[in-house]
Amino acid sequence: MNPTPNAKEVRYTMVGILLGLFLAALDQTIVSTAMPRIVGELKGAEYYAWVTTSYLLTSTVSAPIFGRLTELFSRKAILLWAVGLFLLGSALSGLSQNMAELILFRGLQGVGGGALFALALTTIAVLFPPRERGRLAGAFGAIFGLSSAVGPWLGGLLTDHLSWRWVFYINMPVGAVALWFILRYMPRLKPAHREPFDFLGAFLLVLWTVPLMLAFSWGGSTYPWGSPVVLGLLLGAGVGLGVWVASQLRSPHPLFDLSLFRIPTFSLSALASFFYGPAFLGAVAFLPLYLQVVKGVSASQSGVTVLPLTFGVILGSVGGGQLAARHGRYKGLVLGSALFLLGIFLLFHFLLRADTPLWLAVFLFFLTGLGLGPAQSLLNIAAQNDVPMHRLGSATSAVQFMRQIGATMGVAFLGTVLAGALSDHLKAAFPQGAAGAPVLARGGEGMALDLDREFARLEDLLARALRGDEAAYRALLQDPMVPKAYLQGLSPGGIPARFAALKEEVRAALAGDEAARRALLQDPTLPEDLKAFLRAPRGALGPEAVEAALAQAEARALEEATRQAVAGLEAAKARLKEALSFGITEALRQIFLYSALFILGALFFVLLLPDRELKGRPAPVE
């Protein structure tokens, strides 16, 4: 038996847990705005999506594994390991020298991040009985809402004023404080008895989860949905799932006790969470696109503009949690929030336009957060209510796992909807095809949203490349935002290299090479003042006059080429902005309609959910 922790231990343990949870939630959003700068420095644009995918894969898989470990070992020791792995991954990610290292270390960071999600919820379930957990719902809702709003803004701020590496280094001081609180105040919370860990079950879990996540991460973006790669991954995931279920049924001490699905409150809460995952991310993940591209809000200001969504989540979570704690019931609150959210998503679908007033959109953001808040935590509390204490870690992490799998599947589908709408509008804006249009990554993978800044960067690179800057020329060749039509007019060395060759031809023509003179006079790109020199009698001009004329012609050619390049980019930016504005608006209207369908799926299982009273702490198993 564990001694009952005192109020001070519980209070300060909660501080450490919430700080760790905030870091794990923040890291899902803070990196996206830094990705263009990361790719520019580390190169390897073809591995762009893997930086996000590696974190997603490992965080999803680690949650149920660490959830089971809390049932077998000291919860304090496992939580310290999780925070340590997260901080180690953060430090190494910041020190990365190439994309391969960053992808590897982001995966390590994801192991710690996924474990933190599962362990935080499990530890709180051990420290507080179900009815009291409702009072903490606001804290969890606030953390998830705050990280969604602050992450992109903070990532942009650190990248612009310090370095993209501080997106990872910022975790170190906050994580150290969390580590100290946990180490100093958290009780050990040892399990009542020990069982062997199911290594085969953990391996088979990875074997079917990773292909499933990869299929939905790559489908519709890296590979078509019907491609052999995606279909092969889905088939492998299906076979792996069957083998994993068989192993869990046969194992005397399985990684996850499938008999928990016989408990209605657990199984129905987990299934409802599966549909809430994509509804939540569908509502939140694509809103910055609308704010920044359609409404012209800067990347840093968009974080402030989404704050009403955060306030709505906090208010909904706190209010729902307090009501659940006071009345001891959860079903009515979850049901009411789902119906409210359904209405808000349908309002978004019918009201959202490119010219929708910003104040109305922000007000709808607040209402969306208000509807999302209660379900974030109450479904976890409902799932834990009837689960025996010795399987509390597995049950809690399973709900998180179901939400994450649902979110990955749903957002992949919604990303395909967004990509399709953008593709249609880009084709209409750039009828000449891909040669004239910038290449944009899928919205969830770091699409460049600040178009003014991006095009200013491209204009600077083009001007430098035309002046002969080799580094700028190479950067343009690797940049997916540069229309291919501009690359065709560029050459190594720029205008100076072109005029270096031209000078030799002009000197030869002035020295008496008649073939060179005729070729130059027929060259439509040769400036007229140089052609006038070539038509003059031989020897009429001295060498100094020729060199001066060539220098002046080079300066004018450079100025004209730069002017034309900038004008072309400005025209492309204007067309791109218009196409993106209408494309994103139409895509978001469809996304909110699909999010409403996801809420209907969650609503179905919430309706079936037993309306049990939240009880006290389950009796621990001896």
The answer to whether position 534 is within a domain reads: no
Looking at residue 441, its pLDDT comes to 41
Length of the chain in terms of residues written? 622
Nearest to 30 by CA among 314, 217, 303, 372: 303
Looking at residue 134, its pLDDT comes to 65
Average pLDDT over residues 10-31: 77
Looking at residue 560, its pLDDT comes to 73
Across all residues in the chain, what is the average pLDDT? Answer: 75
For residue 397, pLDDT beyond 70: yes
| Structural tokens at position 69 | 């470990």
For residue 617, pLDDT beyond 50: no
- Residue 616 is classified by DSSP as S
The answer to whether position 467 is within a domain reads: no
Claim to verify: residue 84 and residue 112 sit in the same structural domain: yes
**Higher-confidence residue: 561 or 302?**
561
Residue % of the chain over a pLDDT of 90: 1
Is residue 63 within 8 Å of 215, Cβ to Cβ? no
Claim to verify: residue 216 and residue 121 sit in the same structural domain: no
Claim to verify: residue 46 and residue 150 sit in the same structural domain: yes
For residue 202, pLDDT beyond 50: yes
The answer to whether position 620 is within a domain reads: no
The answer to whether position 220 is within a domain reads: yes
Claim to verify: residue 24 and residue 144 sit in the same structural domain: yes
Residue 435 binned pLDDT confidence (cut-offs 50, 70, 90): very low
Domain end (from 140, 157, 189): 189
Ranking 283-297, 442-456, 495-509, 577-591 by mean pLDDT, the lowest is 442-456
Ranking 19-23, 453-457, 561-565 by mean pLDDT, the lowest is 453-457
The answer to whether position 552 is within a domain reads: no
Average pLDDT over residues 506-518: 68
Claim to verify: residue 145 and residue 236 sit in the same structural domain: no
Residue 262 CB-density burial (10 A; 0-12 exposed, 13-18 middle, 19+ buried): exposed
Ranking 396-405, 435-444, 553-562 by mean pLDDT, the lowest is 435-444
Average pLDDT over residues 259-288: 81
Count of structural domains, the chain: 2
Claim to verify: residue 45 and residue 140 sit in the same structural domain: yes
Ranking 106-120, 222-236, 269-283, 539-553 by mean pLDDT, the lowest is 539-553
Ranking 216-220, 293-297, 539-543, 585-589 by mean pLDDT, the lowest is 539-543
Residue 448 binned pLDDT confidence (cut-offs 50, 70, 90): very low
Is residue 82 within 8 Å of 116, Cβ to Cβ? yes
For residue 228, pLDDT beyond 80: yes
Domain end (from 254, 277, 300): 254
For residue 316, pLDDT beyond 70: yes
Residue % of the chain over a pLDDT of 70: 72
Instruction: Write the pLDDT tens digit of every residue in 451-480.
Output: 666 677 777 777 777 777 777 777 777 666
Claim to verify: residue 163 and residue 136 sit in the same structural domain: yes
Claim to verify: residue 56 and residue 173 sit in the same structural domain: yes
The answer to whether position 42 is within a domain reads: yes
Domain end (from 189, 214, 245): 189
Looking at residue 8, its pLDDT comes to 75
CA 285, CA 302: separation in Å to the nearest integer? 12
3 state SS of 268: helix
Claim to verify: residue 73 and residue 214 sit in the same structural domain: no
CA 315, CA 335: separation in Å to the nearest integer? 17
- Distance from the Cα of residue 457 to its chain's centroid: 23
Claim to verify: residue 183 and residue 204 sit in the same structural domain: no
Claim to verify: residue 126 and residue 213 sit in the same structural domain: no
Q: What pTM, to 2 d.p., does this model score?
A: 0.71
Q: Spell out where 243-328 has E strands.
A: none
CA 289, CA 448: separation in Å to the nearest integer? 10
Instruction: Write the pLDDT tens digit of every residue in 142-200.
Output: 677 677 667 767 776 777 777 778 888 888 888 888 888 888 877 776 766 677 888 88
Average pLDDT over residues 412-430: 72
Q: Can you give the CATH number for the domain in which 134 is found?
A: 1.20.1250.20
For residue 562, pLDDT beyond 50: yes
Please give the residue range of the domain that contains residue 227: 198-254
Average pLDDT over residues 427-447: 49
Handedness of CA 276, 278, 282, 285 (dihedral sign): positive
Looking at residue 537, its pLDDT comes to 64
The answer to whether position 300 is within a domain reads: no
The answer to whether position 546 is within a domain reads: no
Distances 171 to 91, 133, 174, 269 between C-alpha atoms, Å: 8, 27, 6, 32
Is residue 24 within 8 Å of 79, Cβ to Cβ? no
Residue 1 binned pLDDT confidence (cut-offs 50, 70, 90): very low
Looking at residue 191, its pLDDT comes to 66
CA 21, CA 116: separation in Å to the nearest integer? 6
End-to-end CA distance of the chain: give it in Å, rounded.
8
Instruction: Write the pLDDT tens digit of every residue in 48-78.
Output: 667 777 787 788 888 888 888 877 777 788 8
Average pLDDT over residues 115-123: 78
For residue 270, pLDDT beyond 80: yes
Residue 327 CB-density burial (10 A; 0-12 exposed, 13-18 middle, 19+ buried): middle
For residue 392, pLDDT beyond 60: yes
Average pLDDT over residues 512-525: 69
Average pLDDT over residues 243-256: 87
Claim to verify: residue 114 and residue 217 sit in the same structural domain: no
